[in-house]
Structure 1
Amino acid sequence: MMNLPPGMSPVVLLRSTFSGVSTGLYLTGSAVFFTEYIGLSPRLVGLGISIAWLISTATMMPFGMLADRFGGRRIWLIGTSASALVFCLYPLAHAYWQFQLIIALELLVSGLGSAGSGRYFGDLFPEGHRARGRAYLRVTSNIGMAVGAAIAGVAISLDSRPGYLAIVLIAAGVTALDAILIAWAVPHVDRPHQRVEGEARRKPVAIRDRSFVALAVLNGVFNLNGPMLSVLLPLWILSRTDAPSWLVAGTMLMNMALCIVFQIPASRGVESPGNGARAWMWAGVALVVSSVGFAASGTTHGVATLVALAVGLAALTAGELLTSAGTWAIRYGLAPESRRGEYTAVFGLGGQLSWIAGPAALSFLVMSGGAAGWLVLAGVFVAAAVAARPLVVWAERTDREDGEFAAAVPAARSARRRFGRARGRAGGE
């Protein structure tokens, strides 16, 4: 029997696997479904996804506040159940506006579920065990994603409308099973905590916490590893190296396998904001190495190209694993319990923005600049690694426990206004 972290149970791991299957199906097969089944152009699909992501990003913080108000598990269940229903709407889309409406709705309810799960898992895992708990969830999720990607691959290979339809219907069914487990099997762990009452409850606080927002932005920089793997690296391999085209799929599978094997060891001991900062620093180093390795692969031939790509991929995966471990330690270690949903949602904005801006920005930088573009990206990661520790120290010095920061913000603003009026009167004299 696995030595599971406190709060973890087999049913929680099972639903994480189901969630991964749905994600693998969607990521692998959705673009093909949109173009082949609905009949949209790739340009319109890309536009629709970008608009939907922007809408979803704008609602993250309000959804986090809802999770604080009504409980993470309840909001998570509502979002997941709605996701299963929205998947069933995709086959009804026959025009762009219908597709845009459905995908925006899908990302909205998915974001609602994510806000709820973020609050829930922060309550489920006790302090000192959250990064390890997250590691187990990522392992099972990656296993599920591999299964989902394989199912989608079989469906796509049929090259038929029933095959494309099967992708979204299976995703809907698996997501419905996930919702059933959330409703009936996962533990009830919304722990009692000091609630923020009255007017303060309705006012967002995390977005005004400058040190925390700075860390959210830095989180977005480290999370560029995602667009690097799934967007930038395939383009680079196909257009700027002499590596075989099948290596694009090979890199995805290898990344998935490495995540399954090494996520738990990579998260060991990363349970405090200070340890999270250290993990981010090493993540930055790994992402620098990966950028240099990929840059080299564009100037080599044959076996040397494969070696350079292998080194770059291994380092990129290490950066991904360490980023994940550090992110959970920092965001949960700094978020006050009464506003955990709101704070974790704001922290997640950085990751969202990395997917909104990252694909286009990274593609322009590297595909236009070649190896030099990779080296510029390496410089960005050097700066991120250097900034990690000072920003975490700054955030640790900010008193935000149980809504005290909420009271401090307006009080400080009022004091500044009084001081300004006093200076104005003194100057007039």
Structure 2
Amino acid sequence: MTTPARGSGGAAGPRGPLARLVPERGPQRTLAGATFVNAFGSGMFMSSSALYFTRVVHLPMSQVAFGLFAGAAVGLIAGILGGRIADRRGARETQIAVMLAGAVFMGCFLLVDAFWSFVLISVLTGVVFAADKSSRAPLVRGFGGEDPARFRAYLRAGTNLGISLGALVAGVAIQLDTAPAYLSLVGGRALAFIGCALALLWLPRLVPVEAPPLSSRWEALRDRPYLAATVLNCLMSLHFAVPTFLLPLWIVEHTQSPRWMVSGVLVLNTVLVITLQVAVSKNVGDPAAAGSRMRWAGGAVAAGLLLMMAAGSLSTWAGAALLLAATAVYTLGELWHAAAAMEYSFGLAAPHAQGQYSGVFGLGGGVAEALAPAVLGTLALGLGRPGWFLLAAVFLVVGFASRPLIAWAVRTAPRPRTYEGPVA
């Protein structure tokens, strides 16, 4: 973690409904703005990258999948290193460097014309994406102010809004389906990196927190409570592929609902996340509260999955109505899980090594992201009803086990904990 060279507080923010979407003036709003710009570019690229590489660069889908996987795999490890550099050298400076590197590497995608050059740039951008998350974490902690959970919720809501708007822009280019349109999206992603770097220049510098005398060089990898939280979050994070992978396939292939319901449930999920994340994250300020939210999350995700399953045996409009209800219930679970995960990631981390710890936490999330399609597809789509029940049971068990397991890990840790606040 780092501490501000100048005060991280700011003037009072806006009143009324806008206060739910915009954080305090000063460093918090600056960091939120930079995060939004970066997320907007990410939404453009994520939604169109596969089409760009197949339709413009003319690479086979198998090669595209391999290159993207290689970048993600290397990035998982690079995130820990990027976080450590941010802890020791300065988070603001590291973030700016990462953004500028992202702009350069993304620009290189415009020049790719062969498989191996594509793999090389994919690996480099994978490093950037992972280092972005872990090096930003000390900034989030340093400028969190008196209510860090609320600020982190602002950032997640802004990130989702940025990704959604970026995806809408990408949709226009995809509809045009021309090389210039796809090239403009890749160029736009590079410009978003630059815009984020410029915004970060307005942040005050954070002075790195000095590490305790006997602290380990890679202590996050030896921190039992934090590793326990990382594993639990990894298991719970499998559900993040439900609205983007499992539900679309379920609606189209296993229900009588109209195909446009795929867009309908995604829009509902996105709107609820953007509008409710701040409110749902209220009072999640210690690992004990995070454990309670994980329990709620497990129950809501399990209930949402069973309602989605039930929609498969109903008529067209009854099934559509149940799918909307299921998505709303599931999204509550997603929101509670996000609030708990952010508290675990920051509340259980050593203050002087927030970036490194966040890199480890991100490693668990990355593993879940890679495994989720196979796990969800095999169980829910492959096994049918028994698979749905098994998935629901997994999330329910993980949710209910989180609080006691984290409390046990803290009690049996070989050294005193560094976070503040009760666990049980």
Matching of residue 193 in structure 1 with residue 212 in structure 2: no
- Tell me which residue corresponds to 2:5: none
Matches within 5 A, 1:198-213: 203-213=217-227
- Tell me which residue corresponds to 2:400: 386
Whole-Å Cα distance in 1 between the matches of residues 300 and 24 of structure 2?
A: 27
Secondary structure class of the residue paired with 2:209: coil
After TM superposition, the structure 1 stretch with the greater mean CA deviation from structure 2, 45-54 or 146-155, is 45-54
Matches within 5 A, 1:24-423: 24-126=43-145, 129-182=147-200, 184-188=201-205, 190-191=206-207, 193-196=209-212, 203-397=217-411, 398=413, 399-401=415-417
Report the TM-score, using the length of structure 2 for normalisation. 0.89
- The alignment's C-alpha RMSD in Å is 2.0
For structure 2, the 5+ residue unaligned runs are 1-13, 420-424
Secondary structure class of the residue paired with 2:46: helix
After TM superposition, the structure 1 stretch with the greater mean CA deviation from structure 2, 220-229 or 283-292, is 220-229
**Contact kept? 1:71, 1:120, Cα under 8 Å:** no
- Tell me which residue corresponds to 1:421: none
Whole-Å Cα distance in 2 between the matches of residues 12 and 63 of structure 1?
A: 19
How many residues in Structure 1 have an aligned counterpart in Structure 2? Answer: 398
Change in Cα spacing, 1:13 to 1:212, as seen in structure 2 (3 Å) is: closer
**Contact kept? 1:337, 1:401, Cα under 8 Å:** no
Whole-Å Cα distance in 2 between the matches of residues 40 and 192 of structure 1?
A: 44
Equivalent residue letter for 2:399: A
- 1:63 is displaced (CA, Å) by 2.1
**Contact kept? 1:72, 1:115, Cα under 8 Å:** no
Report the TM-score, using the length of structure 1 for normalisation. 0.88
Whole-Å Cα distance in 2 between the matches of residues 59 and 13 of structure 1?
A: 24
- Tell me which residue corresponds to 1:416: none
Secondary structure class of the residue paired with 1:224: helix
Whole-Å Cα distance in 2 between the matches of residues 123 and 267 of structure 1?
A: 19
Change in Cα spacing, 1:221 to 1:232, as seen in structure 2 (3 Å) is: same
Whole-Å Cα distance in 2 between the matches of residues 20 and 85 of structure 1?
A: 17
Equivalent residue letter for 1:129: D
Secondary structure class of the residue paired with 1:218: helix
**Contact kept? 1:79, 1:111, Cα under 8 Å:** no
Change in Cα spacing, 1:124 to 1:311, as seen in structure 2 (3 Å) is: same
Equivalent residue letter for 2:181: G
Secondary structure class of the residue paired with 2:110: helix
Whole-Å Cα distance in 1 between the matches of residues 218 and 184 of structure 2?
A: 42
Equivalent residue letter for 1:351: G
Secondary structure class of the residue paired with 1:223: helix
Greater percentage in helix:
1
**Contact kept? 1:294, 1:374, Cα under 8 Å:** no
For structure 1, the 5+ residue unaligned runs are 404-429
Equivalent residue letter for 1:31: A
Whole-Å Cα distance in 2 between the matches of residues 147 and 391 of structure 1?
A: 39
**Contact kept? 1:194, 1:402, Cα under 8 Å:** no
- Tell me which residue corresponds to 2:9: none
Equivalent residue letter for 1:64: G
Identity level (%): 30
Change in Cα spacing, 1:195 to 1:82, as seen in structure 2 (3 Å) is: same
CA deviation string 1:156-180 (max 9, x = no partner): 1111111111111111112211111
- 1:19 is displaced (CA, Å) by 1.6
- 1:13 is displaced (CA, Å) by 2.4
Secondary structure class of the residue paired with 1:9: helix
